Amino acid sequence: MQEHRQENTYRTPLQKWVDALHVFDDDIEAYEKEDDALYLIKQYARLQLSSTKQLRADYKQHLKKKCPEDLLRNEIILSILAKIQNDLTGIVDPNLLPANVNPIDFNADAIAMASRGSITRLAEGTVLERAYNGKIYVIYRRKDFYEYKRTRYDSLTEIARDITGTLCSGPTFFSRKVKMYLLREY
């Protein structure tokens, strides 16, 4: 006589939630069809359920560098999520903007969405005027560089550090009290 075993089908609420999200799937085509926000939520859930050792491996995989030992678990997760979000949105070349996109709006979004270590590229011909400690500082975006005091800079952060004398973020510095406009020649 054949013994009939009944399979245990009870699943904890967390197991049901993970199954519903399919957070451990590696099906890239499925990710392409879903909303980016939902994908980020799934990745956040996956990272929260990962061991610290796995988080450090994910950090190295996504950010292409060794995870600093002093980073806390939540900092590792946020760094990975920021990289994933940057990869999803991609860096748009401001010189290839569609005609219906206002370059000033593009610049404001690029500065607002910049994350630590990312490159902030503004539309060619952009002028930034930033008031700081009673002085007005003017920065020009040229074809492949920023110009400040007739000197070439590769990033807004280099300029912000030159102006403030501190280790500050360029996008953060230029997101406050800045006037932005385009030169007519561009």
4 part of a folded domain? no
Tokens of 43: 């990745």
pTM: 0.50
Instruction: Give yes or no: residues 123 and 170 share one domain.
Output: yes
Q: State which of 60, 89, 118 marks the end of a domain.
A: 89
Q: Residue 56 is part of which domain span? A: 13-89
Instruction: Give yes or no: residues 98 and 64 share one domain.
Output: no
**Chain Cα centroid distance, residue 78:** 10
3 part of a folded domain? no
Place of tokens 């609420």: 13
pLDDT digits (tens, 9 = 90+) for 128-177: 999 999 999 999 998 888 999 999 998 899 999 999 999 988 888 988 88
Instruction: Give yes or no: residues 30 and 44 share one domain.
Output: yes
Question: For the chain, how many structural domains are there in total?
Answer: 2
Q: Nearest Cα to 116, choosing from 76, 170, 61? A: 170
Cα dihedral sign for 136, 124, 116, 108? Answer: positive
Instruction: Give yes or no: residues 78 and 138 share one domain.
Output: no
